[in-house]
Amino acid sequence: METARIGVTGLAVMGRNLARNLARHGHPVAVHNRTAARTKALVEEFGGEGTFLPAETAEQFVASLERPRRLVIMVKAGAPTDAVIDEFAPLLEPGDMIVDGGNAHFADTRRREAALRERGIHFVGTGISGGEEGALHGPSIMPGGSAESYEALGPLLEDIAAKVDGTPCCTHVGPDGAGHFVKMVHNGIEYSDMQLIAESYDLLRHAAGLAPAEIAEVFRTWNTGRLESYLIEITAEVLAHTDAATGKPFVDVVLDQAEQKGTGRWTVQTALDLGVPVGGIAEAVFARSVSGHADLREASRNLPGPARGTADDAGFADKVEKALYASKIVAYAQGFHEIQAGSAEYGWDIDSGAMATIWRGGCIIRARFLDRIRAAYEADPSTPTLLTDDHFAEALGDAQDAWRDVVATAARIGVPAPGFATALAYYDSLRADRLPAALTQGQRDFFGAHTYRRVDRDGSFHTLWGGDRTEVTS
């Protein structure tokens, strides 16, 4: 009986395309789906692309895999993933591997990995980015799990991943939940990137007075420079599109309420737990949330403020480009800070430069820029922040006036720009000699005797605020 090198269960569009990608690369792939009609349709439609071994039952599916078995599950994160694991794990043997290619929460992945490890099964939580097209033509792949499982899986995954300069966009991220953690932060950065682009569009429209088709051209031009990226490229496409039904710009007929599935929110929740400031990602999540509160927006529509007027500044588009680049540097610096903090907390030993390397192609945030981040970590692998890398520090310096001008203009004419504003505030906070946090500490000590440290002596201190205001050591 012919055996498959790897199997994919869950044949919705991502699973189906991943299976096709494997088959197209010459890897015999077992395919299975809860409803067998999908399996049949896949083989009927794409059977010519490679060797597919369709299975109707879980037992058949498992039996068709060579050992150690490599079983990829591509189902909805959450309860459906647990259900599929419960169905397949009893059929597996020690040394076999279950790869979860969904957008699972890394804490779930840690739980599942620990439970399956007890039974000798490798559980490999794997981030996969690039949408349907990526899954088919080469995604960016972020596998966690044991180093041993990567030995058996890595070559296959690297084979089907996107390549940049011949380097696969796939590497072993780290143990247990590391892969899904990095994918989560990838998505958080994706949210931030998208929000900054949206604010750029809004400012070009309402401050520079450009029409969507003209803004599409601006983005096209930006896409030939340092901002070159998948998200800028598709932004131009979306803005240039005309709605067939009305003849209006497509962007004007879409309801302005952004949805989300949760990975951006997880990035922020996790950052809060880790104590990592990711204001850019948080504002991006909140901006989607604000947009969705139709009632709140309706009730507030007549609040006083400037009517959106144009900024009367011929060079404004260039300033927005600088503000966007600077804010983007901040977004990535914050995301990488979170990766480093997660890595330290869970002992994952994640190589940040390697993450930048595998995000250069295949994924939603792929960009020319990531090569710069790779180079920054190559120059100084233990840098506490990307902002101080020579290239980025110079770009931030160069963007200064424009960045501040864009944030000030947005505030003056009443265009919300929370992403730009928080990025600039983060930048100024980090570079400040002194922060008003000293006053916060004084207040905390006043009302709750929470103590403070001093700049000139070690130890914890408390001032007797209700008494004679002498200072005591605590």
4 vs 185, beta carbon nearer ligand 6PG: 185
Structure tokens at 22: 């494997």
Cβ count near 463 (within 10 Å): 17
Helix/strand/coil for 361: coil
263 vs 409, beta carbon nearer ligand 6PG: 263
DSSP 234: H
DSSP 47: G
Structure tokens at 156: 């296959």
Give the dihedral sign, CA 384/387/392/394: negative
Contact call for residues 407 and 417 (beta carbons, < 8 A): yes
260 vs 441, beta carbon nearer ligand 6PG: 260
Report which residue type is found at 171: T
Q: Which of 183, 319, 322, 328 is catalytic?
A: 183
DSSP 364: T
75 vs 363, beta carbon nearer ligand 6PG: 363
CA distance 389 to 372: 9
The DSSP annotation for 248-291 comes to: SBHHHHS-S-----SHHHHHHHHHHHHT---HHHHHHHHHHHHH
Q: Which residues contact 426 (CB under 8 A, 6 or more apart)?
A: 277, 279, 280, 330, 334
187 vs 270, beta carbon nearer ligand 6PG: 187
Minimal distance in Å, beta carbon 169 to ligand 6PG? 12
CA angle 226, 232, 235 (to 5 degrees): 160
Minimal distance in Å, beta carbon 187 to ligand 6PG? 4
Minimal distance in Å, beta carbon 464 to ligand 6PG? 51
Contact call for residues 461 and 447 (beta carbons, < 8 A): no
267 vs 422, beta carbon nearer ligand 6PG: 267
134 vs 174, beta carbon nearer ligand 6PG: 134
Minimal distance in Å, beta carbon 132 to ligand 6PG? 9
CA distance 360 to 186: 12
Minimal distance in Å, beta carbon 155 to ligand 6PG? 23
Binding residues vs ligand 6PG (CB under 6 A)? 103, 129-131, 187, 190, 260-261, 263-264, 363-364
Q: Which of 158, 190, 321, 338 is catalytic?
A: 190
Report which residue type is found at 187: N
Cβ count near 36 (within 10 Å): 14
Structure tokens at 168: 């696969």
Specify which residues 349 forms β-bridges with.
none
Minimal distance in Å, beta carbon 307 to ligand 6PG? 31
The residue number whose beta carbon is nearest to ligand 6PG equals: 129
Whether omega before 94 lies within 30 degrees of 0, making that bond cis, reads: no
Minimal distance in Å, beta carbon 190 to ligand 6PG? 5
Is 183 noted as a catalytic residue in this protein?
A: yes
Structure tokens at 112: 């599942």
Q: How far apart are the first and last CA of the chain?
A: 75
DSSP 468: T
Minimal distance in Å, beta carbon 313 to ligand 6PG? 33
68 vs 264, beta carbon nearer ligand 6PG: 264
CA distance 138 to 471: 64
82 vs 132, beta carbon nearer ligand 6PG: 132
Minimal distance in Å, beta carbon 105 to ligand 6PG? 13
Q: Is 144 exposed, middle or buried (0-12, 13-18, 19+ CB in 10 A)?
A: buried
Active site residues: 183, 190
